[in-house]
Structure 1
């Protein structure tokens, strides 16, 4: 983690938060890095993430983008469980490798009092260009 004073939760704190408050995804996502711009999250693709035809399913990539945005926001505002997605637009651009990890790079573009906006790129190991791109807006509950 970089030394930015605006960062309130590092990699370990974000992982502990997911493991405590979101048991339904426990062990699915790994926070690799928290930076001044956002976070990088990895998903190790398993058989359950594939759809017929042998590619990673859209819902799996959406979940990765959504978790990446959520964690990027929490890294700045602290452990606020009730921050929620209010909008998401996702483009699936290339077929990811079915047996390779996915890496989600999330940039926090705007962090306001009530709304946060993130840009997400998802990469598949072994594929040079991004396989998906998403834009997400989150609502932040009042303190």
Structure 2
């Protein structure tokens, strides 16, 4: 992943200074949260007797949808989408993703990324470089919601 673009994204998104040491935590965080959403989408598809996960199966909240929209604006400046395609890779599921659902993965990862950056600032408005405690708190918050 392009460390410079990763760093720039967090600077633009929430005036945060992250470094390559944060990159591993970020990748694990995004991968886990995306997988959580896909598992819930899989459950919805299976409950509706389908083996294909459609976009409407994914539990996209109003807040996540808004962050996805906000991410599109930031991405025009940062050009992070090619990197997020890598992060949108996922473990195998018991269902197949439709083309439309697959196309939503990068915007979802972008929305999760933006929500994470904004969560750091919400937890500690003065934070410049998120420490381990910030990452742990953010993860606990997301685990409560996703």
The structure with more strand, counted as a fraction of residues: 1
- Structure with higher RCO (Cα < 8 A, 6+ apart): 2
Larger radius of gyration: 2
Q: If each structure's helix is expressed as a fraction of its own residues, which one has the higher value?
A: 2
